[in-house]
Homo-oligomer: A and B are copies of this chain.
């Protein structure tokens, strides 16, 4: 671990954390989703501490967040002597896996038909599962047609999206969030160069921050092709930057990390 490596890591880390504060429990969920999303995979408390230390998470804050995640059914913890090992619960795994395709896809796919649902809200049953609410009683679905009792639905090709709807789906605050994210990711990429050469905990920490800030922005809007958003929408740019950086920073083996 050279001084130069530390400086480069710090520059990249700061570019990301400058995007806004992050909850410790949310960072843990990100790490576990990124590093321990296979059934049976576990991550030690020491390892988590090592990954989270560079973003200022102290052991006490880590303990509180782990307690909360256990209480909420996200993780289970297994104490072995002085060390704890944490795993995602079945429900935690399911939620992680449900979100993963959208977060990690190099190019999201929107195969299959589109569905426009409408019902008078007084008359409608449950909203069509997985469909996006566009307005009062109006939902847009994509792919396999969800059951939707009480709705009128026409299914067909991808619709052209009027400008006002693009602006509704991609408001100025979100355009700005993508702009900021793209700038930060550009700084990270420039700082790391072609060969990052970081330690395993540093690699895991940067992966965590990249996925965290990317996911945070991505999940603020519905999953739709970029044609549904304003012209200056940097989702695709950010996605390309994220996948390039995750390729540059492959998941370290958990065995390679310890506080020893």
Choose one: B119, B134, B138, B155; the contact of A162 (CB below 8 Å). B119
Closest residue of B by beta carbon distance from A119: B162
Q: Which residues of chain B come closer than 8 Å to A11, judged between CB atoms?
A: none
Closest residue of B by beta carbon distance from A114: B154
Q: Which residues of chain B come closer than 8 Å to A64, judged between CB atoms?
A: none
Contact with B along A136-158 (1 / 0, CB 8 A): 11101000000001111111110
- Nearest-neighbour CB distance to chain B for A165, whole angstroms, equals 6
Q: Which residues of chain B come closer than 8 Å to A226, judged between CB atoms?
A: none
- Nearest-neighbour CB distance to chain B for A164, whole angstroms, equals 4
Please tell me if A116 contacts chain B, counting CB pairs below 8 Å: yes
A-side interface residues, number (CB < 8 Å): 30
A134 touches B152 (CB 8 A): yes
Please tell me if A120 contacts chain B, counting CB pairs below 8 Å: yes
Q: Which residues of chain B come closer than 8 Å to A118, judged between CB atoms?
A: 116, 118, 134-135, 138
CA of A249 to CA of B81, assembled, Å? 101
A120 touching B164 in the complex, CB below 8 Å, given contacts A135-B137, A137-B135, A138-B138: yes
A152 touches B162 (CB 8 A): yes
Please tell me if A171 contacts chain B, counting CB pairs below 8 Å: no
B135 touches A120 (CB 8 A): yes
Give A residues with C-beta under 8 Å from B. 113-116, 118-120, 123, 134-138, 140, 149-157, 159-162, 164-165, 168
CB-defined A-B contacts under 8 Å, sample of 19: A114-B154, A116-B118, A116-B154, A118-B118, A118-B134, A119-B165, A120-B168, A123-B162, A134-B152, A138-B138, A140-B152, A152-B159, A152-B160, A152-B161, A153-B159, A154-B154, A154-B156, A154-B157, A156-B156
